[in-house]
Structures are given as structure tokens and as C-alpha cells.
A = this chain, B = another copy of it.
């Protein structure tokens, strides 16, 4: 069997520090489970590259990484040196759009050893996925400004939802729900206020649901849904939302489980026509970069999601199990979680437990 070809892009700041731990754990898990992986390293999509070349990525970036099986990504951005919209829209958002990564997937899971801001919740109580539409919706660039610099000034921006775009994300979400024991899908809407696009979203959910009679589904308006993330996080199994609603829920969810610093994410093209990107939710964290204290769990967990996407379920589950056992031991956790391990020690601990 040919090895999976992984494009490795550490990016900026702590991205460079957590990446070696991610690779270490993937290598260990791959060896144990008879999976062959090949890592190809790239220095673009970083501030360093931008400084030298005046752009975030080379002109032929698509040729360089478009043939890989997946992209393993650290973190990008350095707000003091480069505007977010240059660094993010020049790399991550480009990947999403040009590699048609229409699914943004994030787990919301209460892990051992991670203090949750919610009262009286134990590991096991909260365990769901947020599925976010990642290419259209509220993030269109259609719109503009009229009567600039006068009292009549106004701006407009369109939300655009296409049948293709909505149906494929819903299909992914229903499939995911069907594959899980609870088989429960929750849709985020706001059709009582946003009177055109959101009723359309609801309509497509209802149509898609007919194909999945085994899946129980419900919908909540986004306002009360965010409230229910806090009040009843145990209600959820798979939650699907538009680009904006999914963005909100996939930050709020990890916040509720205290895991925003260790959460992983996938920007996925399910058909594998293009490589998908797996990256920790955290950013490049300039404030702690260079000290060797960053928490590598988000990077490592993203590696597990990548293996799962590639079809290597066992290796993926072995990593998630090792993460849970590592987080359960105070001495193996990094400082942000009240432990005293540095980045490398924490990464080695996970590798040892795989």
C-alpha cells in the first residue's frame, strides 16, 4: 500500500512548536497500526515566508500541495506584524475555497483534567460534533457601500445559500449523525428573524431528513441554541449550522468544555477531490511562542482527525485514547491545564500511551 502523502505546514509562532509533537504521535500510531505515512514539509503560509516574498504562499501553491492526501497545519497569523485578513485570507480561507473544503468539523467533548467553566459536568456528559458550512452563506463578498461619507451612507452584504452548498453540508451532517449511537441531529436556524435564507435552510433540512428516517432531528433558533449549549450541552450529538452560525457554535462549544486551547478542527472535502486541512483551533499565540510551553494536544488531536478522514479509524482512536489518558495525569499536562510538562514532554507522553 502506498504511503499517505501529508503536506506539513507549521506556519507561525507556537504552530512550529506543536507540530513536531503532532508528527511524533502520528508516526508512533501509524507504526503500531501498520499505516504508512510520508511527510512533506512546506515553509509557506507563514509570516516568515511573507516577509521574504511579499505574499503568504508561492504562486504555484496549488501544484505543490494540491496532490497530497491531506494538509497538516499548525497555526498562522501574527497580528502585530501582519493584518489578519492578509494572513488568514491569504492562506486558510484560500484553502477552504479553492480546495472546496465545504465541511468545517469540530468536536465538543468534555475531557478529563480540563477544567470546564460549567458547573457539575463530568467527562462523558458532553460529547458532540459541530458541522459548519465552510464556503458560502454569510461569508459571501457580494455587496457594497452607497452614498459614502454622507448621512445617507449605507452598506449591504448578501448572504448566499445555494441548493448545492446547503444540501451537501446537510448530507454530511445527517451521515455523521446516522453513524453515531444517538443518531440525533440539531440544526441551527433563525427563520423567525432572518426571513429568506433561514427558512430556505429549514426547508432543505426537512427535505434531507426524509433520506435519513433513522435520524432524529430538531432545530433551534441560534439565540436559544447558544443558551442551550450552556444550559443543556448534554442534549446534543451532531449540530449543523451555516458558515456564521457554525463559526459561533464551534467556538462556544469548546469554550463550554474548557477545551478551546486544545480543540482540533478539520476543513474537509469529503469526496477527497482535494486535500483537507487539519489544524488546532488555537492560533499562533505570539505571547507564549518560543518558550516551549505551548500545549500540543490540539495539534495531536487534529492528527487523529486527519487519520480518521483518511480511513484509519483504529490509529485515530488510539490517539484520542492516549490524549485522554495523558490529560488525566496532572504531571503530563502543560501549564495552561495546571500541569508542569513542557510541549515536548506532553507530546512524548501521548506518544508513549498510543
Contacts and interface: CB of A to CB of B under 8 A. Distances in A.
B248 A248 contact: yes
A224 B200 contact: no
B156 A190 contact: no
Given A154-B163, A158-B157, A139 B193 contact: yes
A175 interface: no
Q: Is the interface of A mostly helix, strand, loop or mixed?
A: mixed
A153 B119 CA distance: 45
Interface string A119-155: 1100000000000000000110111110000111111
A228 B226 CA distance: 13
A191 to B, nearest CB: 8
B251 A155 contact: no
A157 B252 contact: no
A312 interface: no
B248 A200 contact: no
Interface in A183-209: 190, 192-197, 200
B139 A151 contact: no
A288 interface: no
Nearest to A152: B163
A118 B119 CA distance: 5
B156 A160 contact: yes
Interface residues of A, number: 57
Number of copies: 2
A192 B244 contact: no
Interface stretch (A3-11, A253-261, A269-277): A253-261
A80 interface: no
A150 B162 CA distance: 11
A190 B248 CA distance: 10
A247 B223 contact: yes
Contacts of A251: 223-224, 226-227
A155 B201 CA distance: 10
Contacts of A248: 222-223, 226, 248
Contacts of A227: 251-252, 254-255, 260
29 contacts: A85-B192, A85-B195, A88-B192, A116-B119, A142-B156, A143-B159, A144-B196, A151-B163, A153-B163, A156-B159, A156-B160, A156-B197, A157-B159, A157-B194, A157-B196, A157-B197, A158-B158, A158-B159, A190-B244, A193-B244, A193-B247, A222-B247, A222-B248, A223-B250, A226-B226, A226-B255, A227-B255, A230-B252, A230-B256
